[in-house]
Amino acid sequence: MHPLPTWLSRSAAAALALLIGAGGEAAAQSRVKFELWHGLSGDLGERVGDVCKRFNETQAEFEIACISQGSYDEAVQNSIAAFRAKKQPTIVQVFDAGTADLMLSGAFYPAGKLMADNGFTVDWGRYFPGVANYYATSKGELLSFPFNSSTALFYWNRDAFAKVGRSAAPTTWEEVEAISRDLKKAGYACPFAFEYDTWQLMEQFSAIHGQPIATRGNGYEGLDAELVFNKTRFADYVKFLKKGYDEGIFSIKVKATGATIGEAFGAGDCQMTQMSVASHGTIGKIAKPGMNWDVAMLPLFAGTKRTNSLVGGASLWALAGKSKDEYRGAAAFFNFIALPQSEEYWSTVTGYIPVTKPGFAFMKAKGFYDKPPYKGREIALESLTASEVTPVSRGVRLGGFLLIRKETQDALQAIFANSMSVEAGLNQAVERGNAILRRFEKTYAGKQLP
């Protein structure tokens, strides 16, 4: 048995002792019941349910019910509606794009205060900065608990590379282009595949290249931020992708055209792509038998100094207006999911990364990343910690960001359908996105982001 890290509170140690002890269901008695609403569905939704079941089995005082709302957006919207009707859950999972909206809503119980009020001492410094900063205030205070965290990685087929005399993943986009031409000549119909997901295409690219998406520190410094991604290297990246697409060495794979990038890569139809590390486990399950594949950090344009990538996923917020007993349960649950053993379990069954340094160290010491099903996932942590966090790489703090993503995605679709030029498409996305920002600013006139 591994010794308990010194940062664990006595309450956490007690929970862990029960977890790794005799096990079995807690003695039947009246429990304090509370709910967590989340936006994951399918296999990932079931795994959230497993986490909640594990928590319920560690103690007899609380019982959490984790209920999927179908999607991230629905989880937030349904919680807002429930809050107005005073039927809100105690905890809600809020995805990265909704952070600014929750911060300004005032409808939450700050994570630090919640834990302190319920007798838990939390060392907030144990969270990876690349993870914590996305959900923290401008002063570094975490208002919610990072939960399912990820970043984007580059997926590549070692077998296909070997057939064109290559044995290493590309580190630059120029290499991706050259390898794609080699693969095309070797008879591969889809050397590199991408989709319109702006989290991968725009947000991750901009972060690792040190490029802003908006002024005012990507929105962290004020609600008066304006989008600028039409005038950064992201515009060059879109032109690069469009050139490869027109040449036939890059392909777009979305469900509407028959297969997603993950399905196309797993089937061996496409030899390179970029996806979340959370897809690592899925690829392991669906990859065709005998397929030899691997992951690497996202490529850069040649001559670029790498900056840390952005965290994706969501954090858990305690909502205002619940009872003291429910908040005691919420604090106990937050303490439970921060245990290294809990982080190991979550990473094992999903592909998401550990969010704390002790959790990662615990898993690494056990040889987690040496095992074939999980080997390569540690690269996500290397990407998130590739540099000191900068005002550009700490995250995106823009109101109505989900709508901005949609406008940008629509523009990208028009560009690749030859309905608009790259310049016109990105200009339109920025113009419409800035209109969204101005409406958001007006809605919260007089307020400042924490």
Residue 294 belongs to a domain with what CATH number? 3.40.190.10
CB of 299 closer than 8 Å to CB of 175: yes
Measured at the alpha carbon of residue 277, what is the angle toward residues 362 and 45, in degrees to the nearest 5? Answer: 90
- The reply to whether 176 and 163 lie within a common domain is yes
Distance CA 184, CA 248 (A): 8
- The reply to whether 305 and 430 lie within a common domain is yes
Write the pLDDT tens digit of every residue in 376-430.
Answer: 999 999 999 999 999 999 999 999 999 999 999 999 999 999 999 999 999 999 9
Q: From residue 357, how far is each of 15, 127, 337, 348, 381 by CA, in Å? A: 20, 6, 14, 17, 10
Helix residue spans in 338-400 (DSSP H): 340-350, 357-365, 378-384
Residue 89: the pLDDT is 97
Residue 193: the pLDDT is 98
Residue 29: the pLDDT is 60
Write the pLDDT tens digit of every residue in 23-71.
Answer: 444 444 699 999 999 999 988 999 999 999 999 999 999 999 999 999 9
Q: Provide the domain limits for residue 71.
A: 10-150+311-382
Q: From residue 242, how far is each of 11, 117, 265, 280, 313 by CA, in Å? A: 55, 54, 20, 27, 28
Q: From residue 202, how far is each of 34, 233, 309 by CA, in Å? A: 38, 10, 11
Domain count, the chain: 2
- The reply to whether 370 and 410 lie within a common domain is no
- The reply to whether 159 and 293 lie within a common domain is yes
- CA within 13 Å, CB half, 167: 0
Instruction: Give 2: exposed, middle or buried? Use CB within 10 Å, 0-12, 13-18, 19+.
Output: exposed
Query: Could you tell me which of 170, 152, 157 has the C-alpha nearest to residue 267?
Result: 157
Residue 14: the pLDDT is 45
Boundary (domain end) residue, out of 382, 407, 427 = 382
Residue 450 lies in a domain: no
Residues of the chain predicted below pLDDT 70: 1-29
Tell me, what DSSP letter sits at residue 201? I
- The reply to whether 161 and 301 lie within a common domain is yes
Residue 98: the pLDDT is 87
Distance CA 123, CA 112 (A): 10
- The reply to whether 177 and 293 lie within a common domain is yes
The tokens describing 268, both together, are 């061996």
Measured at the alpha carbon of residue 102, what is the angle toward residues 99 and 106, in degrees to the nearest 5? Answer: 145
Residue 418 lies in a domain: yes
Distance CA 245, CA 417 (A): 11
Strand 270-276 and strand 190-194: pairing? parallel
What pTM did the predictor assign? 0.88
Residue 75: the pLDDT is 93
Distance CA 181, CA 419 (A): 26
